């Protein structure tokens, strides 16, 4: 279970005063040192139009820092053009994007199952029609008991995704088969195995009726290719903060469409990166010709997270209506950012 939250935000300002924000996660002292001593000096004086070259260069040093720089430079470029991010990317297919409520599930308290059910019930009452619950942090027996209780609450009316966070091997995952095969509201089983066990994923996909998802820590579109060519996943789950740059992230989305695989973005760690995932999903062509507006949902962290409120967006009945102004179309809550600013002290 996460016992604290961290998020590293950068702001790049051009000579003409146009600003853009970026976001990444890692150990804060490492990020601060890297930006102050290497990345900021490298960026000084370079033209925004060379953003792809700059992101590619920074990626060699630190992929997640490159993702943050990519966000900031993308926002600046859209503002220079006087258009929204989506317009700069070719326009939206839809004004709303579905989201699912994502839960950490566990706590150190002995009543963690009761707390988890209470959190899920609250999300459903607020209008979510899809949720994601964690397994793998307890014994399989405890987790299965929890999931049976969750399903009894959902009554088959709410879509359910299950995230195992790479906790199992093939044999352990198959112990879930008798339950998963009989849950018609199951959306997908996410990362039951280590993500580099591609052959085992392909075998598991042939054994389970449950759709399989994964790839939140895959850094480039090219590294998704083995999963796609081996038919190892039903959904890929790229994260714009874990992929080294927004262009690479969007390449992964397009690649999924070329292979006929669905994509449901992972966006648990930050509000700004989640906004970019929503923009990209809005610009992604539908996966199904049978439903013109069919688009896969984006993860929405439903746990306590003060950084989520940096971006003034909230779901309505499980959907986000996207801002349409220039750039990202809204302003970050800089007062909240200042309140939570890291003071350089050790943590963890």
Among all residues, which ones are annotated catalytic? 134, 266
Question: How far is the CA of 121 from the CAs of 26, 128, 129, 133, in angstroms?
Answer: 32, 10, 11, 12
The angle formed by the CA atoms of residues 319, 320 and 325, to the nearest 5 degrees, is 155
Contact status, residue 100 vs residue 161, Cβ threshold 8 Å: yes
50: which DSSP letter?
Answer: G
- Distance between CA 307 and CA 6 in Å, rounded? 8
Structure-token pair, residue 209: 């009726």
102: which DSSP letter?
Answer: E
Burial of 278 from C-beta contacts in 10 A (0-12 / 13-18 / 19+):
buried
Structure-token pair, residue 181: 């095969």
DSSP sequence for 200-228 = HHHHHHHH-SS-EEE-TT--SSGGGHHHH
Structure-token pair, residue 103: 């839960």
Question: How far is the CA of 340 from the CAs of 7, 32, 293, 347, in angstroms?
Answer: 10, 16, 39, 14
For tokens 């973005």, name the residue: 265
DSSP sequence for 273-292 = HHHHHHHHHHTSPPS-TTST
């Amino acid at each position: 279970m996460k016992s604290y939250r961290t998020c590293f935000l950068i702001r790049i300002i051009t000579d003409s005063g146009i600003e853009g924000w970026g976001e990444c996660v890692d150990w804060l002292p490492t990020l601060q040192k890297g930006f102050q001593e290497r990345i900021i000096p490298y960026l000084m004086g370079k033209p925004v139009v060379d953003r792809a070259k700059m992101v590619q260069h920074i990626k060699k040093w630190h992929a997640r820092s490159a993702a943050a720089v990519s966000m900031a430079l993308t926002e600046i470029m859209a503002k220079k053009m006087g258009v929204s991010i989506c317009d700069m990317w070719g326009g939206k297919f839809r004004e709303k994007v579905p989201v699912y409520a994502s839960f950490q599930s566990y706590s150190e308290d002995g009543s963690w199952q009761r707390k988890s059910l209470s959190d899920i019930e609250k999300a459903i009452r607020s209008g979510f029609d899809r949720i994601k619950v964690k397994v793998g942090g307890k014994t399989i027996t405890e987790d299965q008991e929890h999931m049976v209780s969750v399903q009894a609450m959902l009554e088959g009316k709410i879509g359910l995704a299950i995230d195992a966070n790479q906790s199992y091997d093939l044999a352990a995952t198959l112990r879930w088969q008798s339950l998963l095969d009989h849950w018609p509201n199951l959306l997908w089983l996410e990362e039951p195995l280590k993500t580099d066990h591609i052959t085992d994923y392909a075998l598991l996909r042939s054994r389970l009726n449950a759709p399989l998802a994964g790839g939140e820590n895959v850094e480039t579109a090219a590294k998704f290719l083995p999963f796609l060519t081996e038919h190892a996943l039903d959904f890929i789950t790229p994260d714009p903060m874990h992929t080294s740059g927004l262009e690479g992230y969007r390449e992964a989305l397009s690649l999924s469409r070329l292979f006929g695989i669905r994509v449901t973005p992972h966006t648990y760690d930050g509000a700004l990166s989640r906004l970019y995932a929503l923009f990209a999903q809005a610009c992604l062509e539908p996966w199904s010709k049978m439903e013109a507006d069919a688009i896969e949902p984006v993860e929405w962290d439903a746990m306590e997270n003060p950084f989520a409120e940096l971006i003034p967006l909230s779901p309505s009945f499980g959907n986000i209506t996207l801002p349409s102004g220039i750039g990202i179309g809204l302003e970050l809550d800089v007062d909240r950012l200042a309140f939570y600013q890291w003071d350089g002290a050790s943590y963890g």
